[in-house]
Amino acid sequence: MRRERKAKIVATLGPASSERSTIQALFEAGADVFRFNFSHGSHADHQRRHALVREIEKDLGRPIAILADLQGPKLRIGQFSGGKVNVSAGAEFVLDQNPDQGDATRVCLPHPELFAAVTAGQSLLLDDGKIRLEVLASSDTAIRTRVVNSGVLSDRKGVNVPDAVLPIPALTTKDRQDLEFALDLGVDWIALSFVQRPEDVKEAQAIVNGRAGVLSKLEKPAALDRLEEIVAASDAVMVARGDLGVELPPERVPGVQKRIVRMCRKHGKPVVVATQMLESMISAPVPTRAEASDVANAVYEGADAVMLSAESASGAYPVQAVALMHRIISEVERDPYYQALIDAQHEAPLPNKGDAICAALRDVTQIIGVVATVTYTTSGHSSLRAARERPAAPIVSITPNRDTARRLALAWGVHSTVSPDVHSVDEMVAAACRIALREGFVKPGDQIAIAAGTPFGQPGTTNLLRLAEIWPQ
- Active centre residues (catalytic): 35, 76, 217, 275
- Rounded Cα gap, residues 392 and 8, in angstroms: 16
What is the DSSP pairing of strand 131-138 with strand 189-192?
Answer: unpaired
Coil vs helix vs strand at 343: helix
- Rounded Cα gap, residues 440 and 212, in angstroms: 29
Coil vs helix vs strand at 20: helix
- Rounded Cα gap, residues 309 and 327, in angstroms: 18
Task: Select from 106, 110, 111 the least CA-distant residue to 87.
Answer: 106
Contact 168/148 with Cβ under 8 angstroms? no
The DSSP symbol for 346 reads P
Return the percent helix, strand and coil in the chain, to nearest 5.
Answer: 40, 25, 35
- Rounded Cα gap, residues 68 and 318, in angstroms: 19
Amino acid identity of residue 56, one-letter, is: I
DSSP states of 100-168: S-B-SSEEE---GGGTTT--TT-EEEETTTTEEEEEEEE-SSEEEEEESS-EEEETT-BEE-TTS---S
CA angle 231, 235, 237 (to 5 degrees): 55
Amino acid identity of residue 314, one-letter, is: S
Phi, psi of 458 (to 5 degrees): -105, 115
Phi, psi of 141 (to 5 degrees): -125, -10
- Any idea of the CA torsion for 198, 70, 249, 230, to the nearest 10 degrees? 20
Task: Select from 245, 233, 257 the least CA-distant residue to 306.
Answer: 257
